[in-house]
Amino acid sequence: MNRLFDVKVWIILGIILGFVIGFDHPDAPTMLMITLLIQMTLALQGLKFDFGDVKHDSKYMLFCVLLCFVFNTGITLLSGLLFIDNKDLWYGWVMLSAVPCAISVMTMTFYMKGDLKLGMLSFSAIYVVALALTPFLTHLLMGEAASWTQILMYVVLFVIIPIAIDIPLNKVTIPPKLKIMTLNVVILAMVFISVGFRRDYIIENPDVAVLLLAVNFVRIFVPSIIMLYLLKRIGCPRDKGVVFISMATWRNSGLAATLCIIMFSATFPNALLPAVLSLLVENVWFVFMQGYFNRMWPETKTESVNI
């Protein structure tokens, strides 16, 4: 019975179904956006903070913003340079580097007993910065190939809709098991749609797919594992370490893939591949980190648990 609440099972099932069944559906971008919005709404539901929290955690929030838009964006762009001769894939890497962190950072913080309040504050700060920085980066690196106004519109909608839904939803107490199960089903759908949408190309072009997977594995696994050891060594609180590592690693690959499908489906149809395979690797990384993180950095009895 406990297996039903284990997010790893749902992620693995989504990957398998994506490759076995596929999902080449014209409404895939809309469906993917809906899953992202539901995930964000549920992850933020019930979390509250005041301006005193912002003042208290301001330096940690700034650190998270830098981890997302300097450290992770920089690593992602450097990874994309390997594909700069292929305009489809280069534009895909640029889009991936420009989007903010995924709402999955809150899911990871929830599951791995990180600092939920810091996670929410930092996530909010990152999305405020993203309103300006995401359109700016895409326009700077892709020029007129990407509409910065359209990108801004989707980032705004991605923030406003969940917040609006959460206003009445915060008055309701959602049982933890129901919330976890719903999040698991949404994650399954997100992984299935993302992997299944370009399954045929991945199968028909294994050389490109393997190279993209390898680069994403290095980009995601190596920095996060090094960060884990460094943060633990310098005495960083474990609950904050969970937030820092997730913000420095997990990009909103689902949003990047959706934007690529919406803007480039006719002109650069394979631009979404870096984001799709990034999403795949990020979910594999999450499955791995759930066990690895707890072994390498176990929670102590003296640490507060934020769930």
- Please report whether residue 264 resides in a domain: yes
DSSP state of 297: S
In a domain? residue 170: yes
State the pLDDT at residue 50.
66
- Within 13 Å and on the Cβ side, how many CA atoms surround 29? 14
- Is 306 domain-assigned? no
Give a yes or no: residue 304 inside a domain. no
Domain of 46 in residue numbering reads as: 2-295
Phi, psi (degrees; rounded to nearest 5) at 251: -90, 165
Distance, CA of 302 to CA of 19 (rounded, Å): 44
Those residues with Cβ within 8 angstroms of residue 222's Cβ, 6 or more apart along the chain or in another chain: none
Closest to 53 (Cα-Cα) out of 149, 117, 112, 96: 117
For residue 208, is it within any domain?
A: yes
- Count of structural domains, the chain: 1
Dihedral sign from CA coordinates of 62, 53, 251, 163: negative
> What string of pLDDT tens digits covers the 307 residues of the chain?
566 777 778 888 988 998 899 887 878 878 888 888 888 888 777 766 666 677 788 899 999 999 999 999 999 999 999 999 999 999 999 999 999 998 888 888 888 889 988 998 999 899 889 989 999 999 999 988 888 888 888 888 877 888 888 878 888 888 878 888 888 898 889 889 888 887 888 888 899 999 999 999 999 999 999 999 999 999 999 999 999 999 999 999 888 988 888 888 778 888 989 998 998 899 889 989 988 998 999 877 655 444 3
Looking up residue 212, the CATH number of its domain turns out to be: 1.20.1530.20
Give residue-wise pLDDT tens across range 265-299. Answer: 778 888 989 998 998 899 889 989 988 998 999 87
Is residue 244 situated within a structural domain?
Answer: yes
Contact 23, 197 (CB under 8 A): yes
CB atoms within 10 A of CB 287: 18
The conformation of residue 21, written as its DSSP 8-state character, comes to T
**Cα distances (Å, whole numbers) of residue 167 to 20, 41, 44, 295, 306:** 39, 10, 11, 38, 22
N- to C-terminal Cα separation, the chain: 21
